[in-house]
Amino acid sequence: MNVRKVLAPTLLAAGCSLLTVSDAHAMHISEGILPYGWAAFWFLASAPFVAYGLRRLGQASEGDLSFKPLVGLLTAAVFIISCMPIPVPVAGTASHPCGTGISAILLGPAISVLVAAAALFIQALFLSHGGLSTLGANIFSMGVMGSFTGFVVFRLLRRFKVSLAAAALIAGILADWATYVTTSFELAAGIRGDAPLLPLFLKIMVAFIPTQLPLGILEGMMTAGMISLLHRKRPDLLVKMRLIEPEESVPCN
Amino acid sequence: MHLFSEEFKTAHMLAGTDARLKLLVASGLLVMVLTYHGFLFPLFVGMASLLLCVWMRVPLKLFVLRFSEPALVALILIVIKMFFAGHDELFSVSLFGVSISAYKDGLIDGLMIASRIVGAVSVITVLGFATPFTDVIAALSWFRVPKGLIEILMFAYRYIFMLFEDAMVIYNAQKNRLGYSNIRRGLSSFGILAGSLTLKAFEHSQNTAVAMAQRGYDGNMPVLKHRPFKPSEVIVSIFLIVIMGLAWKI
């Protein structure tokens, strides 16, 4: 592969992604991008995770009437957070976080898939961020990959006695980047036509690095900030959600 | 939040049309747009949708805002396809001392995807503008979308507005105290804002559960019941699908 030949157009596409970052909502695949075969495939791939999430929701809300309202309210919170602009230093403008890292840490990955699905549905219908035909693909990248990566990383780091904020920071970053890598793959697979998949996938990933790399770090910092605030203000909630042991809770400020 | 405005959603004939039929017609059109190989049909759908939006008196600003993100995504895709895929060279430019080529077949592919985005986004935009959210939820329930998901959607939609107001109060207070004057302070302020929203979500959920339990909530939310299908609406929907199907076939 001629590196110079690949590098120049990649820089051009990266420039375009920088131009558009002020309107980039996380990294959703827009309505109509995916051919129907791929759109259907990602629906099928997401379906078992949504079904598992619904089962977990049913189990968790059996003895707790406040659980469904809590999931709904956190969905609303995640939706609003993902609509809020945060500054991206490299691009010199603002972009929007996904919010699935924090929901996976707080509610677990299965229910976080439902949170993402509901937020994505409302965004698709009322904001044209993402889409209905690409809902399966967006649920898979943001809900499944983002949630499971964030949750597994957080739990793993906590097992190694990493502090709450540091674990949340890394989980938030990796959840965002996992979403971005998966979306790049979905996009490459969907638009490649007869071009080979791997080179296009790499080019799309490189093209979005200027925005998504710093955005991931910002999302990680935001996740760490949120967890730290919850730890300071309502440690009892973190104990209830089994994120910390009772002895780790500190008195409220 | 003005993007969510539902004021104009009740002032036209489409608002009163059965949401189930609107969902079916929109799904049909979406499938047609996605399966079409070419520019014309998706652009025709886009044009028809634009006219419908004008007829529904959708504010122009709202319409442009809805289309801004998909349009920019389409632009990136055209660039990516034009420079990364294809064999038939269209032109060549020099960038950072390196000559790069744009390909005609890549450009055509990119334009086809862009037209698909325009067509598909138009369909969903009209659906969103023409249907109040509660009607969409009731229709989804009729289509046997799992109840758990429906309930989360209902709770989420109900509380988006309330939490958004809370978020705006915090955001404006932070902004007035220069909370977003530089990146470091901005990030810190945003973390506090997001954390406060999460805390409020927890608190509201407890209060909501208590209030709902007092009103007989047993863990299941009732949704709107549908009236029977109107034969006239069904006939018009079928006619519309057949006409668009013919346009798709041609």
Host H or E run for residue A130: none
Cβ–Cβ below 8 Å for A133 and B34: yes
ipTM for this prediction? 0.84
Q: Scanning every residue of chain A, which has its alpha carbon at the shortest distance from the alpha carbon of B86?
A: A195
The structure tokens 């929901």 sit at A103
Measure in Å the smallest separation between the Cα of A201 and chain B Cα atoms: 11
Q: Percent of chain B at pLDDT above 70?
A: 94
Cβ–Cβ below 8 Å for A32 and B199: no
Q: Write down the pLDDT at residue A91.
A: 43
B55 lies in the same domain as B177: no
Mean pLDDT for all residues in chain B? 83
- Hey, CA dihedral for A92, A211, A85, A16, is it positive or negative? positive
A92 pLDDT tier (thresholds 50, 70, 90): very low
Cβ–Cβ below 8 Å for A84 and B171: yes
Is any Cβ of chain A less than 8 angstroms from the Cβ of B127?
Answer: yes
Q: Write down the pLDDT at residue A182.
A: 93
The answer to whether residues A220 and A176 touch, using CB atoms and an 8 Å cutoff, is yes
**B30, B157, B204 member nearest A122 (Cβ):** B157
B66 lies in the same domain as B179: no
Q: Write down the pLDDT at residue A23.
A: 42
Span A187-227, pLDDT tens digits: 889 888 777 888 888 887 887 787 788 888 888 888 888 88
Calculate the dihedral angle through the C-alpha atoms of A70, A74, A75, A80, rounding to the nearest 10 degrees: 150
Q: Which of A23, A52, A128 to mutate to test the interface with B (most CBs of B within 10 A)?
A: A128
Cβ–Cβ below 8 Å for A222 and B213: no
**A32, A77, A225 member nearest B116 (Cβ):** A32
Of the listed ranges A110-119, B125-134, B191-200, B236-245, the least confidently predicted one is: B191-200
Measure in Å the smallest separation between the Cα of B162 and chain A Cα atoms: 9
Measure in Å the smallest separation between the Cα of A243 and chain B Cα atoms: 15
Q: Scanning every residue of chain B, which has its alpha carbon at the shortest distance from the alpha carbon of A57?
A: B148
B35 lies in the same domain as B122: yes
Cβ–Cβ below 8 Å for A75 and B155: yes
Q: Is A96 helix (H, G, I), strand (E, B) or coil?
A: strand
Domain range A3-248, CATH class: mainly alpha
pLDDT of residue A174 exceeding 80: yes
Mean pLDDT of A227-235: 86
Measure in Å the smallest separation between the Cα of A115 and chain B Cα atoms: 8
Q: Establish if B219 belongs to a structural domain.
A: no
B12 lies in the same domain as B86: yes
Is any Cβ of chain A less than 8 angstroms from the Cβ of B196?
Answer: yes
Domain that holds residue B101: 2-131+226-249
- Comparing B68 with A180, the larger pLDDT belongs to A180
Cβ–Cβ below 8 Å for B120 and A79: no
- Comparing A35 with A14, the larger pLDDT belongs to A35
Mean pLDDT of A43-51: 96
B92 lies in the same domain as B184: no
Mean pLDDT of B211-218: 80
B121 lies in the same domain as B54: yes
- Comparing B161 with B99, the larger pLDDT belongs to B161
Is any Cβ of chain B less than 8 angstroms from the Cβ of A240?
Answer: no
Is any Cβ of chain B less than 8 angstroms from the Cβ of A75?
Answer: yes
Mean pLDDT of B169-173: 88
Span A105-114, pLDDT tens digits: 999 999 999 9
Cβ–Cβ below 8 Å for B121 and A193: no
Q: What is the pTM of this model?
A: 0.85
Mean pLDDT for all residues in chain A? 81
pLDDT of residue A252 exceeding 60: no
Is any Cβ of chain B less than 8 angstroms from the Cβ of A121?
Answer: yes
Measure in Å the smallest separation between the Cα of A161 and chain B Cα atoms: 23
Distance CA A155, CA A148 (A): 11
Cβ–Cβ below 8 Å for A81 and B197: yes
Cβ–Cβ below 8 Å for A229 and B196: yes
Number of domains present in the structure of chain B: 2
**B4, B159, B210 member nearest A73 (Cβ):** B159
Is any Cβ of chain B less than 8 angstroms from the Cβ of A25?
Answer: yes
Q: Percent of chain A at pLDDT above 90?
A: 33
Other C-beta atoms closer than 10 Å to the C-beta of B219 total: 16
Q: Which of A1, A30, A206 to mutate to test the interface with B (most CBs of B within 10 A)?
A: A30
Residue boundaries of the structural domains of chain A: 3-248
B167 lies in the same domain as B90: no
Q: Establish if B137 belongs to a structural domain.
A: no
pLDDT of residue A10 exceeding 70: no
Is any Cβ of chain A less than 8 angstroms from the Cβ of B216?
Answer: no
pLDDT of residue B15 exceeding 80: no
Q: Write down the pLDDT at residue B54.
A: 85
Mean pLDDT of A35-58: 94
B23 lies in the same domain as B51: yes
Cβ–Cβ below 8 Å for B70 and A221: no
B126 lies in the same domain as B158: no
Q: Establish if B141 belongs to a structural domain.
A: no
**B70, B95, B219 member nearest A65 (Cβ):** B219
B38 lies in the same domain as B59: yes
- Comparing A92 with B20, the larger pLDDT belongs to B20
Q: Write down the pLDDT at residue B198.
A: 82
B210 lies in the same domain as B230: no
pLDDT of residue B243 exceeding 80: yes
**A65, A128, A229 member nearest B69 (Cβ):** A128
Mean pLDDT of A79-92: 63
Measure in Å the smallest separation between the Cα of A70 and chain B Cα atoms: 5
- Hey, CA dihedral for B95, A26, A89, B180, is it positive or negative? positive
* C-alpha neighbours within 13 Å on the C-beta side of residue B177: 9
Q: Establish if B207 belongs to a structural domain.
A: yes
